[in-house]
Amino acid sequence: MIPQASRVRPRNPRGRMAANGTSRKVTSVDVARLAGVNQSTVSRTFSGDANVRPATRERVLAAAATLGYTPNAIARSLITRRTNIVGMVTASTTSPFQPYVLEKFTLRLRETGRQVLIFSAALHQEVDDILPTALQYQVDALIITSVTLSSARIDTCVRAGTPVILFNRYMPGERIGAICCDNRAGAAQVADFLLDAGHVRPAYMAGPRNSSTNRDREMGFAERLQARGVAVIAEDGHQYTYEAGYEAARRLFARPDPPDAIFCASDILALGTLDCAREHGIAVPDALSVVGFDDIPMARWSAYSLTTIRQPVGTMIDATIGLLDRLDATEEAPTVTLFPGTLVARGSARRPPNTPG
Amino acid sequence: MIPQASRVRPRNPRGRMAANGTSRKVTSVDVARLAGVNQSTVSRTFSGDANVRPATRERVLAAAATLGYTPNAIARSLITRRTNIVGMVTASTTSPFQPYVLEKFTLRLRETGRQVLIFSAALHQEVDDILPTALQYQVDALIITSVTLSSARIDTCVRAGTPVILFNRYMPGERIGAICCDNRAGAAQVADFLLDAGHVRPAYMAGPRNSSTNRDREMGFAERLQARGVAVIAEDGHQYTYEAGYEAARRLFARPDPPDAIFCASDILALGTLDCAREHGIAVPDALSVVGFDDIPMARWSAYSLTTIRQPVGTMIDATIGLLDRLDATEEAPTVTLFPGTLVARGSARRPPNTPG
DNA sequence: CTGAAAGCGCTTACAG
DNA sequence: CTGAAAGCGCTTACAG
């Protein structure tokens, strides 16, 4: 049912040396013997238990150093029922935003003593295999970023007792914790920025239709435009990739009524759009303004100088870790927290009069 | 000595329901009881042991489904002495090549039933903490990519019985397996390409001085130039970042004798170089040819259209997995395998006469 | 084909 | 402060 590797290494012989010449792993029993204490004292020493006399502690540590002992985190996990491993489920990283977030996460998580088991979802079908595997490995929690899971699937986790936190995503109506940028408010900000700068034919270049990120950005943008009496030109990018942005821009430029501003659902789409504009000889920002969302590192590259909404990634990650910390403590209801993005005005979009910078 | 989280969740009560309302994890004993078999039969069913009568197997599977049972991979690992977890140590991903490789790795590794525990090295000092942690988690092997470890540190792993494989890196003289692109041959290819196209003042923009990647690329380039009687202009980029490339290019352009071609130690440096050239109004490739190394996704973006050496990443990853597979089987000496790169001629460099494409 | 039992390397009440 | 012992959830000889 659940697939697994069937190769199993033959049990090690009892002796100090295995047949193949590699030494058997040193255990706390070995250390105890050398230090002349009980195995439980070795355990206490390494688990930071205060109930060890300093002198004993030194003796144990010395013996451990001599033997090259490392505690077995797997064995510890079995009994503490806590692996200190967090599973991160990420989409295939077509967009550079993913690896950027992933790296910051692993760093911060390690600072808090947690390890990261990574599950990248190759294509959509693969997500099905991921959850069972993550559960098998007894991750303390699952952070799901940029992947949309069915509620049924999330239910499986919850029933298995594995907390799930959505990052950069949320599921309205579900009782599942989420940390997200306020995509709607950010998009509204872009609408105001563009309109204030005098644009009259703004377009929205969509990302994947089924992503909440795209949905909220589109909604925030369109609503604000509508409130100010301006219609939106919509064009599908379909995916968050450079190529998709390039192609969607080409279609927009081919219209009889091309836009004078394009708000792209994500930075990577905007980069493709800017390159397409460059190839078509469309002057940016004089003839066309382009705005993205995320503020990936490339946004500031001089070939692009992309005006965009910066997601407060560091803050969002800290909030996620805060959620993780509170997981064992309380039994509080899962919360959805939205963090505001900041508009970073660079060179790819005309600025409203009186804009600083 | 080795730092660890000291919070420990209180042991679960024995009953079906824990005090906090979450159900105790279902174990093979629960399944056995419901199916009316011995616990070992449940184990055999899930470990793919053929020694289970089909009818029994069905009964076990049905009971497991009813209970929502998932085997505990941690418990299994303890006894099989094999976690099916591979540790990946990567550098801080300033260069987009890292995440690109990492993603391909996790996908392929999962296809072979392995999970990836990721360790990104924040800054250089952090590497020291990584290895002990990886060893504690009993990873089956450690893949080290784009990080240089001291031999002493690698020795620690080997003594602990954890195989280490270097990826995109190798340590001459050490008995440690490595999979690497033939950086030297690739760089020589670039030298020929540039000289054949008529360049007379080629420069080499270096990456980090201590990386084997940089060393080999520089050597391969310089040696071939020298063999053909051409001197090389050297400039340090120091790191594999866009900004470093931009700054190094600025210094090259400011020389009284600026180069007519720049071979950058990596693509990301080349992108910074191209943007700097653009800002300085230097026509590419007419006044300046720029060549990179890696072939990251951005290399084909139309703003750059970077000529570069493509590393056969897929092949290299497959080879790494082959190494992993052979780890338990034989006790063969670690091998260093070099894979040839391919020159991909795009628009950023003038082509020699008679070049196809 | 199946069961009973030992054991993987730890943690943690429970005594003292 | 320390030891003896039980037990985490599995796998795997060993019998039958």
Answer whether B73 sits within 8 Å of A137, measured CB to CB.
Answer: yes
Asked whether residue B72, judged by its CB, lies under 7 Å from any atom of the DNA or RNA strand D, the reply is: yes
Helix (H, G, I), strand (E, B) or coil at A297: helix
Nearest CA in chain A to B278: A303
Nearest nucleotide by C1' from B69 CA?
D9
**pLDDT band, residue B15 (cuts 50/70/90):** very low
Give dist(CA A137, CA B77) in Å, integer: 10
Contacts A–B by Cβ distance under 8 A: 207
Which sign does the torsion angle of CA A52, A57, A61, A63 carry? Answer: negative
Residue B256 DSSP label: S
Report the pLDDT averaged over residues B186-190: 98
Percent of chain A exceeding pLDDT 70 equals 89
Report the pLDDT averaged over residues A265-273: 97
Nearest nucleotide by C1' from A25 CA?
C9
Pick B22's closest partner by Cβ from A2, A98, A161. Answer: A161
Answer whether B70 sits within 8 Å of A22, measured CB to CB.
Answer: no
Asked whether residue B347, judged by its CB, lies under 7 Å from any atom of the DNA or RNA strand D, the reply is: no
A25-55 pLDDT, tens digit per residue, is 899 999 999 999 999 999 999 998 878 999 9
Asked whether residue A47, judged by its CB, lies under 7 Å from any atom of the DNA or RNA strand D, the reply is: no
A63-86 pLDDT, tens digit per residue, is 999 999 999 999 999 999 999 999
What is the dihedral angle through the alpha carbons of A271, A340, A347, A250, rounded to the nearest 10 degrees? Answer: 30
Amino acid code (one letter) for A308 = T
Pick B136's closest partner by Cβ from A72, A276, A304. Answer: A72
Report the pLDDT averaged over residues A244-271: 97
| pTM, two decimal places | 0.89
Q: Phi and psi for A334 in degrees, rounded to 5?
A: -65, 140
For the cut 70, the answer to whether the pLDDT of residue B125 exceeds it is: no
Amino acid code (one letter) for B257 = D
All residues of chain A having their beta carbon less than 8 Å from the beta carbon of residue B267 are: none
Q: Phi and psi for B293 in degrees, rounded to 5?
A: -155, 130
Nearest to B168 by CA among B283, B319, B274: B319
Nucleotides of D under 7 A from a protein CB: 1-5, 7-13
Whole-number Å distance, CA A1 to C1' D16? 29
8 A C-beta contact, residue B137 and residue A73: yes
Report the pLDDT averaged over residues B106-125: 84
A136-179 pLDDT, tens digit per residue, is 999 999 999 877 777 777 778 877 888 999 999 888 777 788 99
Instruction: List Cα–Cα distances, B30 to B34, B39, B63, in angstroms.
Output: 6, 8, 9
For the cut 80, the answer to whether the pLDDT of residue A240 exceeds it is: yes
CB neighbour class for A133 (10 Å; exposed up to 12, middle 13-18, buried from 19): buried
Beta bridge partners of A119: A89
Choose from B106, B115, B278 for mutation: most chain A CBs within 10 A. Answer: B115
Pick B115's closest partner by Cβ from A114, A117, A297. Answer: A117
Asked whether residue A161, judged by its CB, lies under 7 Å from any atom of the DNA or RNA strand D, the reply is: no
Nearest CA in chain A to B96: A96
